[in-house]
Chains A and B, each alone.
Chain A
Amino acid sequence: MIQIRNVDFQIHGNPILHDISTSIPKGQLTALIGPNGAGKSTLLKLIARLEKLQSGSVRIDGLDLSATPTEKLALVMAVLSQHTHVSSRLRLCELVGFGRWPHHHGRPSAHDRAEITRALELFDLTALADRFLDEVSGGQAQRAFLAMTFAQATDWLLLDEPLNNLDMAHARALMRHLAGLVRDQGKSITVVVHEINYAAAWADHVIAMKDGRILAEGPPADVLTEPLLSRLYDVPVAVGTHQGRPLILHHV
């Protein structure tokens, strides 16, 4: 479980997060939703130690974020950021290989190479393994970053808008795969998603944020309701059901 206690965060005096206290359940697929600027990515960055905690505390499976060596945290939690800028020219297989770095620190073993091959297969990248990152499409590059995160083989996965640049088929395949990892391997996965129907269809737990506060949290059926979503996004939203799960009609 990730426990977040009394976390405030400011950028140049502008409050981004207000006294956030919540917990992300272990062994579930959690979706972080909310309008632009709600503080979803900031919260994820604080957990990922990309931003320094200004106040409050975060514990991951009991490990205090500010007291645990970063090398150890890298074996517990893998993170895919929203913005990735790679300055070196890498082949996809090399990029995915970096996912194993926390395990070998520069000396890959046969096991590490096997894991890289497996991650490439999992994300449909085997045929592209020797291509350079700047020679593939945005969606293929995104899948390579995802494969890197998976190769890290951690209990926790934090993914900031993993569906960016993915087409319908690959987006669905990714969500299905994430749900499978949670169900079959007991992984705990947190994703920031904008297309709310992916949260409705696949998530076990939803945290809805607005203006740096948590507006609601709980199972999708409790959070993804007409009044709550209308309040969250400040637009009228209709919610139906499809195969027993909420179906949000927000585009008409």
Chain B
Amino acid sequence: MSQIAPTTRLIALLALLLAVVSALWVWQGLPDNGRAFILNLRLTKLVGLITVGAAVAVSTVLFQTVAANRVLTPSIMGFDALYMLMQTVLVIVLGTTAYVTLPASGKFLTEVGVLCALAILLFGTLLGKGARDIGRTILTGVILGILFRSADSFLGQLLDPDTFATVQSTQIASFNTIDADLLPWAVGISLAAIALAIRLGPQLDVLALGRNTAVPLGLRHSALVIGALALVGVLVSVSTALVGPVTFFGLIVAGLTHGLAGTARHRILLPVAALIAATILVAGQFLFERALGLGGTLAVVIEFAGGLFFIHLLLKGRVR
């Protein structure tokens, strides 16, 4: 196959880039005293950033394949809003004290499970028949997203200020408060989900042909749609639980991936997307923390730089 060489080179190049950015992140401006402490802090954050990046990227590419659409992302369809709504409801039902004292891992695993089930229930019915009507799918998704966000903020307004502060702490995207207890779970779960997604690669390639072509080729279409949506649910839960709603940059990552990879094979697309997202997050956080001195927000840094690069690719005609 003639296209293996360039894609392998692309993956190697991206991995190298990620390694350089990571090294810069870990060792740049390391002070002499308290080295071990700061090193530990930085490494924790690095692992968190890479995990979140990979989770967001893979979930977005998966979702776009299922939805047969390059505009929709889990974020637009309200996946992360659904996760936050779930947290708010949990606080209201259990009360602040019980919520805070819940065992982190058990709570996290339950939340992942519940989001998966909801994702399959809501979006499975919408996309199971193969997204026949793209317009309707987009409309429904956007409305659901707004519904979840509004319900979440409505419930937030009903809370007393103390409880609201508890809720809010889980809902603001922040890489400065990565939960070290959750990290091993998050890394394990996202690695498993991403490995499974890459394993499903050839089937996802067929899924992308559209239902009318995929079903006669013998693809178990509905089963794969449900499986892919479950993986999206898992990955969105992981990233949202770790750092809050950061799925905003999935769109840019997916666009860049399709532009750079030059292939439609998911075995290539998924790793490329994960590497691009991880690199963007680490580099963005580096700029944000060390160069901008925590001024502005990471979202601005990422979307500004990512957007510029995307326009560059568009003008060069590599993205369509």
Contacts and interface: CB of A to CB of B under 8 A. Distances in A.
Contact of B218 (A74, A83, A134): A74
Given A87-B68, A87-B70, A78 B264 contact: no
Contact of B212 (A75, A85, A98, A134): A85
Interface stretch (A12-20, A100-108, A214-222, A229-237): A100-108
Nearest to A97: B205
B217 A48 contact: no
A248 B46 CA distance: 74
Given A87-B70, A89-B320, A79 B216 contact: yes
A66 interface: no
B72 to A, nearest CB: 11
Contacts, number: 75
A106 to B, nearest CB: 3
Contacts of A83: 212
B258 A89 contact: yes
A5 B129 CA distance: 25
A101 B65 contact: no
A249 interface: no
Contact of B217 (A74, A86, A87, A89): A74
A173 interface: no
A74 B217 CA distance: 5
B220 A50 contact: no
A152 B217 contact: yes
A157 to B, nearest CB: 10
Contacts of A243: none
A124 interface: no
B213 interface: yes
A102 B218 contact: yes
Contact of B220 (A70, A86, A98): A70
Question: Majority SS of interface residues in chain B?
Answer: loop
Which of the four size classes fits the interface of chain A? 20 to 34
Looking at B210, B211, B218, which has the most chain A CB atoms within 10 Å of its CB?
A: B218
B54 to A, nearest CB: 21
B39 interface: no
Interface string B87-109: 00000000000000000000000
A88 interface: yes
B208 interface: yes
A77 B217 CA distance: 9
A56 to B, nearest CB: 20
Nearest to A99: B217
B219 interface: yes
B210 A87 contact: yes
A49 interface: yes
Interface in B191-225: 201-203, 205-206, 208-213, 215-220
B69 interface: yes
B218 A85 contact: no
B209 A48 contact: no
A82 to B, nearest CB: 8
A74 B220 CA distance: 11
A185 interface: no
A1 interface: no
A89 B210 contact: no
A48 B216 CA distance: 6
A98 B206 contact: yes
A49 B202 contact: no
5 contacts: A48-B215, A70-B220, A83-B212, A95-B209, A106-B203
Interface of B: 64-65, 68-70, 201-203, 205-206, 208-213, 215-220, 258, 264, 320
Counting from the closest, the 5 A-B pairs by CB-CB distance are A74-B218, A106-B202, A79-B216, A88-B264, A81-B212
Interface of A: 48-50, 70-75, 77-79, 81, 83-90, 94-95, 98-99, 101-102, 105-106, 134, 145, 148, 152
